[in-house]
Amino acid sequence: MGEILLVTRPKFDDATEYLSYYASLILKEADNLRIEKKDFSGKEVTSKNISKFIEKKNPKLIFVNGHGDPNSLEGDEGEIIFSVQKNVHLLKDKLLYARACNAGLIFGKEMVKNNGGCFIGYNTPFTFWIDGKYSAIPAKDTLASLFLMPSNEIVNSLIKGHSAKSSNEKSKKMMIENMKKILQMEEKNEPGAMGWLGALWNNYEGQVVHGNEEMYF
């Protein structure tokens, strides 16, 4: 298996635009670390493209961004790229982080069944708030960063050689620090702070690891 990072970044609505931008930060860090990578972006995120690449190059770490549900992960315009019935065999013995809603409930468990792989993802909706002033410029949205930087930390930690368990813990620690920041905002009567806190807590509680927690990239 090649030490290759595969990233999927569909971009067809506000949510996927934000996820795509934050995933691009991981790609830059991978460049800094001289890690071999493959980025499928926008219309490139199709089941055909992804499955063909995995079969040919056998990447060890896969970072999926987009929409999901308990049974599947999606690519461009909602096309299913992985599900409990589709392409899950391609993920045997791999390390996958799904920044997508609910896939930890069923899909993540199915992915690691009877093999040495590891799934990191969510049993709940993955939620983040955005500042409407910057909806077209995710890089300037400091509100969204409270949610998306902790999720980035999972892959950021993995590509630096930490285990899945450690990377999950680092991400959750960052969430706790950001929840403390939000509580300070609430004390200053920041509108919306309690909603932000609830959303980040939801991510914290819902973030799970299935399979081999000691797996690393």
Q: Which of 33, 52, 40, 50 is nearest to 9 (CA)?
A: 40
pTM attached to this predicted model: 0.97
Torsion of CA 29, 33, 38, 44, to 10 degrees: 10
* Average pLDDT of the residues in 36-65: 98
Q: How many CB atoms lie within 10 A of CB 103?
A: 31
How many angstroms separate the CA atoms of 40 and 49, rounded?
8
State which fold the 2-211 domain adopts.
Rossmann fold (3.40.50)
Domain boundaries, the chain: 2-211
Count of residues making up the chain: 217
Which contiguous run of DSSP H or E holds residue 60? strand 59-65
Mean pLDDT estimate for the chain: 97
Binned at pLDDT 50, 70 and 90, residue 1 comes out as low
Q: How far apart are the first and last CA of the chain?
A: 11
How many angstroms separate the CA atoms of 75 and 67, rounded?
7
Task: Give the pLDDT score at 131.
Answer: 93
- What does the pLDDT look like over 87-101, one tens digit per residue? 999 999 999 999 999
